[in-house]
Amino acid sequence: MADQPTDQAPSKEEVMAFLQEQIDVKTKQLSLQTLNAELAEARARELKALQFIAQMTNPTPPADAVPHNLTQKDMDENPELVEQGFKVGDEVLVAKDSEPAKRNLKKK
């Protein structure tokens, strides 16, 4: 009676089939990683575009700006406001007037 080894080496065909299966799996993994990277880049571009649009449509006012309601005098003195579609009573932001320099008066 001949003893048959139970741990027989795989045949060449079995090794090649295993390797081909691994190649297929790794190829799919690489495709998935590539798609995930492209998706992340697309989302980043979308976020950047949304931030740009938000800044354009709702800009942050300068720190030294104060609200001002337009008057008829403003409209008369600044005809470009009319051209831009502003009306009397519209609220706009204008630069805050700096305080005039205070003089140091000394008693003589």
How far, in Å, CA of 95 to CA of 63, rounded? 9
Domain boundaries, the chain: 13-60, 61-97
Question: Which residues are paired to 67 by β-bridges?
Answer: 93
DSSP 8-state code for residue 108: -
- Residue 69 makes CB contacts below 8 A (sequence gap 6+) with 89, 90, 91
CA dihedral 83, 85, 91, 92 (to 10 degrees): -50
> Using an 8 Å Cβ cutoff, are 18 and 11 in contact?
no
Mean pLDDT (whole number) for 11-27: 97
Nearest CA to 90 out of 73, 68, 107, 57 is that of: 68
Q: Are 69 and 94 in contact (CB under 8 A)?
A: no
Give the pLDDT band (50/70/90) at residue 107: low
Chain segment 24-81, per-residue pLDDT in tens: 999 999 999 999 999 999 999 999 998 888 877 877 766 777 888 989 998 888 888 8
Provide the token pair at 34: 């590539």
